[in-house]
Amino acid sequence: MPTNEQRRATAKRKLERQMERREAQAKRRRLLTIGGSALGAVLVIGAVVATVVVTNRDSGSTTASASTETTEPTSAPPAPDATGGGLPPFAAPANLGGDCQYPAAGPASKKVNPPRAGKVPTDPAQVSASMSTTEGNVGLQLDNAKAPCTVNSFASLAQQGYFNDTPCHRLTTGGLAVLQCGDPTGKGTGGPGYEFANEYPTNQYRPDDPALQSPVIYPRGTLAMANAGPGTNGSQFFLVYKDSQLPPNYTAFGTIDPTGLATLDKIAAAGVAGGAGDGAPAKPVQIKTIALD
């Protein structure tokens, strides 16, 4: 009869194989993953690992571009505990905004020019934007001092009308509470035809730091980029309407004002189509325009 130790080892190997298969499937399908985890030690038997997958990739090249960050902080913040700490304190990496690159990546879902590459300003620190939707207005403060390459791309797309008359294709109402937008196709697979590297909070950690796999809290009111792995940011973004637990692998590049949060609360209250906890909003949400103030 197997001992308790043998049974634990067998269960551990089974869990590892399941996780490896899921990861391989996600890469093949080029899914955007927003991973929400309830983690103690991942391999401890009885731990519950919940992953919420959010589709959001174009159908182009499967090769992710390398991060453009040339240096990392010499030390990383402590790994958050199992309950999920907040986002780490910001410490500007060397050459922040000094070399923003936007390499081509598959076909564009809507005709658009890539943003200006190279050095971009980090001043002003905040850039105001207004997102008008069929469910109400959402005021945004873009954090140019923390994520200048991301803000540069978002502003460029907004100024070219890329987001105009496009749907917010996904709402989650479980442990992850976000509205996801920015895909003109409305299928969660579209993008602008280019991609770029992660910024804050990812660049507050060393690339090999295990803390990148540990959950932190993206607080209510956060504006962040969706991606399919490091260096695969495009046009899709998500708006957090309740504190949500995620690995720190999604660039937080702004905040949502009180009026915008009220709009998001109204959208969330209507729920997900079919009564699920994850899918298209029950009441369709369309972005009319995004304009810089």
Q: The pTM is what?
A: 0.77
Is the distance from CB of 167 to CB of 181 less than 8 angstroms?
yes
Preceding amide of 124 cis, omega within 30: yes
Lowest mean pLDDT among 2-6, 134-138, 197-201: 2-6
Provide the residue range defining the domain that includes 212: 55-71+82-89+97-292
**Residue 192 domain-assigned (yes or no):** yes
Chain centroid, CA 244 distance in Å: 11
For 188-224, how does the pLDDT look when each residue is reduced to its tens digit (9 = 90+)?
999 999 999 999 999 999 999 999 999 999 999 999 9
Confidence of residue 270 (pLDDT cuts 50, 70, 90): very high
Return the biggest CA–CA distance within the chain.
70
CA distances from 263 to 88, 182, 226, 237, 254 (A): 28, 17, 20, 17, 17
| Helix spans in the chain (H) | 4-29, 148-159, 258-270
* Domain-embedded: residue 187: yes
Residue 17 belongs to a domain:
no
Q: Which long-range contacts (CB under 8 A, 24 or more apart) does 80-86 make?
A: 80/211, 80/214, 80/215, 80/216, 82/38, 82/39, 82/40, 84/215, 84/216, 84/217, 84/245, 85/216, 85/217, 86/216, 86/217, 86/219
- 246 domain-assigned: yes
Model pLDDT, residue 175: 84
Long-range contacts of 151-155 (CB under 8 A, 24+ apart): 151/127, 151/253, 151/254, 152/97, 152/100, 152/115, 152/116, 152/120, 153/100, 153/102, 153/115, 153/192, 153/196, 153/233, 153/235, 154/129, 154/237, 154/253, 155/115, 155/127, 155/129, 155/292
In a domain, 35, yes or no: no
- Residue 5 corresponds to which amino acid? E
Say yes or no to pLDDT of 62 above 60.
no
DSSP 21: H
Query: Is 83 a residue whose pLDDT tops 60?
Result: no
Count of structural domains within the chain: 1
Least-confidence region, from 1-10, 56-65, 113-122, 273-282: 56-65
Is residue 41 included in any domain, yes or no? no
Q: Rounded to whole angstroms, what are the CA distances from 62 to 21, 26, 191, 228, 269?
A: 18, 12, 13, 10, 37
Residue 65 falls within a domain, yes or no?
yes
Tell me whether residue 30 is in a domain: no
Q: What is the CATH number of the domain that holds 149?
A: 2.40.100.10
Answer yes or no: are the C-beta atoms of 131 and 137 closer than 8 Å: yes
- Taking the C-alpha atoms of residue 247 and residue 229, their distance in angstroms, rounded to an integer, is 11
Q: Nearest-CA neighbor of 183 among 175, 193, 191?
A: 191
The counts of H helices and E strands in the chain are 3, 13
Say what the pLDDT of residue 97 is. Answer: 98
For residues 153-171, give the mean pLDDT. 98
The whole-chain average pLDDT of the chain stands at 81
Q: Cβ(263)–Cβ(241) under 8 Å? A: no
CB proximity list for 184: less than 8 A, separation 6 or greater: 109, 110, 162, 166, 190, 235
Percentage of the chain exceeding pLDDT 70? 71
